């Protein structure tokens, strides 16, 4: 594992609980993430019916949640990229998720056509692991397309790919949470069977 560059090491040191610079470093991180989420939200402005103050609120909430994620995942930072690059990925992902939630509230359980392409980055924040995650995602996508029923495919893509909340999907399909949990279990079993056969997961792993 490479040693982080000095600037990244300073970030990690300052954000580590108990550091005398902790509060100041968290404030700096939050300011950075708010600039990133504001820029990303502005880039997406209008594409999902979000403008003005509502869009600003999305960006602010995304920055706050990204900051919490960075602090929680701080032990996972391995120094393979600059700390700020690593941290800003959380911010960009949070903006996408917040905008998607707005769309669900407005339009119901619409599926995100770009969500499959975003899955590898969601699975792993480490750049060298994204390539491995992409192979796994492509295998999952192939199984979903060829082995699942249309309903199972819709449930999987809504819950696992686009991240539609289960309550929203239940309303959309006129179903119940328990019925969707059963469908989710069946889908996981099918995926696990095929991924095990291809050697892409081990016996102890659970398909997400």
For the stretch 166-185, pLDDT in tens is 777 776 777 888 899 899 89
Tokens read off for 102: 């707005």
CA dihedral (31, 34, 36, 42) in degrees, to 10, reads -150
| Cα separation, 32 vs 87, whole angstroms | 9
Phi/psi for 174 (5° steps) reads 65, 35
Residue carrying structure tokens 């495919």:
153
Contact 170, 180 (CB under 8 A): yes
Q: What is the pLDDT of residues 58-82, one digit of tens each?
A: 899 999 999 999 999 999 998 888 9
If pLDDT is split at 50, 70 and 90, which confidence band does 206 have? very low
Output the pLDDT for position 118. 66
Q: Would you state the pLDDT for residue 139?
A: 84
pLDDT band at 54 (very low <50, low <70, confident <90, very high): confident
Place of tokens 């699942």: 148
pLDDT at residue 48 tops 80: no
Angle in degrees, CA 12, 15, 18, rounded to 5: 120
Torsion angle of C-alpha atoms 69, 17, 86, 92, degrees rounded to 10: 30
The pTM of the whole model exceeds 0.75: no
* Dist. CA 147–CA 190, nearest whole Å: 8
End-to-end CA distance of the chain: 27
- Average pLDDT, rounded, for the chain: 81
pLDDT score recorded for residue 29: 97
* 122-159 confidence digits (pLDDT tens): 665 455 566 677 787 888 888 888 888 988 888 888 88
Number of neighbouring beta carbons within 10 Å of residue 147: 14
Q: What is the pLDDT of residue 207?
A: 40
């Amino acid at each position: 594992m490479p040693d982080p560059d000095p600037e990244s090491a300073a970030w990690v040191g300052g954000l580590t609980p108990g550091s005398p610079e902790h509060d100041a470093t968290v404030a700096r991180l939050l300011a950075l993430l708010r600039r990133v989420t504001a820029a990303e939200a502005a880039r997406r402005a209008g594409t999902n019916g979000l403008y003005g103050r509502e869009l600003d609120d999305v960006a602010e909430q995304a920055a706050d949640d990204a900051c919490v994620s960075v602090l929680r995942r701080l032990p996972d930072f391995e120094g393979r990229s600059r700390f700020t690059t690593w941290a800003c990925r959380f911010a960009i992902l949070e903006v996408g998720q917040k905008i998607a939630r707005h769309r669900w509230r407005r339009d119901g359980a619409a599926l995100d056509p770009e969500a499959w392409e975003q899955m590898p980055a969601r699975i792993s924040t480490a750049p060298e692991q994204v390539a491995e995650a992409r192979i796994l995602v492509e295998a999952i996508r192939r199984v979903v397309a060829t082995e699942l029923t249309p309903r199972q495919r819709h449930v999987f893509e809504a819950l696992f790919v686009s991240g539609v909340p289960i309550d929203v999907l239940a309303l959309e399909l006129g179903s119940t949470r328990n019925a969707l949990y059963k469908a989710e279990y069946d889908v996981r079993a099918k995926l696990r069977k095929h991924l095990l056969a291809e050697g892409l997961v081990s016996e102890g792993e659970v398909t997400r």
